[in-house]
Structure formats: structure tokens, C-alpha cells
């Protein structure tokens, strides 16, 4: 899965909106300057965010954008979906798996589908409030958290690897 600039910039801009909003509209020009994102690109993104009910626009002097709802109610996944960014780890055209390889499923289809579901679940669990405070929840699950390896563990792993290769 590769998240494009559209999804990353939308999330970044929404975090900026939370951090600098202070119950007043925030101009896209200010977000553009602070985050080094093109103003015209932000205008496109915020039009989509507004259509999906995540922000509202305030016209006139001192206008800009404000969140609709509290930051704790807006998931990162909803922001990414609002700007038409797919959250999938497979390039298969259909959810049922037909078509990975034109007329059949690829051998690893289920792996990529489940990975996409884990990514979506995690992004649903992270809300804009947590992210804006830097309080990102950890990823739980077997094999998802990388632990540091001590030198002795690395040597042990290397010895096992060499003994496995000698039996081949």
C-alpha cells in the first residue's frame, strides 16, 4: 500500500487545523505556509473534506476553515477516504478476489486483503485529537511491533542461520 500525497497532505492539514484553530477559522494560506503545501492543492483537498462533512468554510474577512465536530470524533481513515484515497494493500480490482490475475485470484490475495483490513482498522482507531497531541496508539498484534535486538540475540540468530544452511 502506498499512501499518496493526497492522503498524507489531507491528514497533515487537518492536524494543523486542530493545532492552530483555537475556535476560530484557519485560512488555507496559513496552513499552506506552515506545512509547505501548495495553496491550490489544499483548496482541492478542503473542498472534498467539506463535502464529506469534516470541515466547514467561513467566508469573508477572517474567514477560513473549522472542524465540524470534535477532533476525537474524526478518524484518520475518514480523512483519507474523504479525499478519495483508497486504503487497500492489494491492487485487485474487486473485493471478491476475482481479477487479481485477469481471471483468477493471485496466490497471495488473502494476505494483502487482510493487511489492508489491519491498516484500515488501525487508521479507524486513531483520531484527529490523538494525532494532534502526538498520542498515537501503539499497534498491537503478533509480529507488528519490532523489538530491539541485543548483540547476543543477533549472534544467536546468526549461529542458527549458519547451522540451518549447513544442513541444506
pLDDT digits (tens, 9 = 90+) for 80-122: 999 977 777 666 655 554 556 666 777 888 888 888 888 888 8
**Does residue 162 form part of some domain?**
no
**Does residue 35 form part of some domain?**
yes
By the 8 A CB rule, do 80 and 124 touch? no
Three-state secondary structure call for residue 87:
coil
Helices and strands in the chain, H and E counts: 7, 2
Instruction: Please give the share of the chain, as a percent, with pLDDT higher than 90.
Output: 43
**pLDDT tens figures, 20-63:** 987 889 999 999 999 999 999 999 999 999 999 999 999 988 88
Q: What CATH number is given to the structural domain containing 28?
A: 1.10.10.10
**Does residue 73 form part of some domain?**
yes
**Does residue 47 form part of some domain?**
yes
**Does residue 148 form part of some domain?**
no
- pLDDT of 142: 43
Q: Which residues, at least 6 apart from 98, have a Cβ–Cβ distance to it below 8 Å?
A: 104, 105
- pLDDT of 45: 96
CA 23 – CA 78 distance, rounded (Å): 22
CA 92 – CA 99 distance, rounded (Å): 6
CA 107 – CA 165 distance, rounded (Å): 27
**Does residue 158 form part of some domain?**
no
Range of the structural domain that residue 69 is part of: 5-133
CA 109 – CA 100 distance, rounded (Å): 7
- Looking at the 3D structure of the chain, how many domains does it have? 1
**Does residue 160 form part of some domain?**
no
Which ranges of 22-38 does DSSP label H, i.e. alpha helix? 28-35
**Does residue 161 form part of some domain?**
no
Amino acid at each position: 500500500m502506498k499512501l499518496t500525497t493526497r492522503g498524507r497532505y489531507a491528514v497533515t492539514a487537518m492536524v494543523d487545523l486542530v493545532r492552530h484553530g483555537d475556535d476560530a477559522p484557519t485560512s488555507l494560506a496559513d496552513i499552506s505556509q506552515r506545512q509547505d503545501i501548495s495553496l491550490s492543492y489544499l483548496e482541492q483537498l478542503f473542498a472534498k473534506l467539506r463535502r464529506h462533512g469534516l470541515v466547514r468554510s467561513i467566508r469573508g474577512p477572517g474567514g477560513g476553515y473549522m472542524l465540524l465536530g470534535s477532533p476525537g470524533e474524526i478518524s484518520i481513515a475518514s480523512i483519507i477516504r474523504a479525499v478519495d484515497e483508497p486504503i487497500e494493500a492489494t491492487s485487485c480490482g474487486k473485493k471478491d478476489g476475482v481479477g487479481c490475475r485477469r481471471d483468477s485470484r493471485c496466490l497471495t490475495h488473502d494476505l494483502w486483503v487482510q493487511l489492508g483490513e489491519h491498516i484500515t482498522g488501525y487508521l479507524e482507531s486513531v483520531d484527529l485529537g490523538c494525532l494532534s497531541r502526538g498520542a498515537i496508539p501503539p499497534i498491537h498484534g503478533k509480529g507488528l511491533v519490532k523489538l530491539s535486538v541485543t548483540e547476543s540475540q543477533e549472534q544467536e540468530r546468526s549461529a542458527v542461520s549458519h547451522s540451518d544452511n549447513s544442513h541444506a
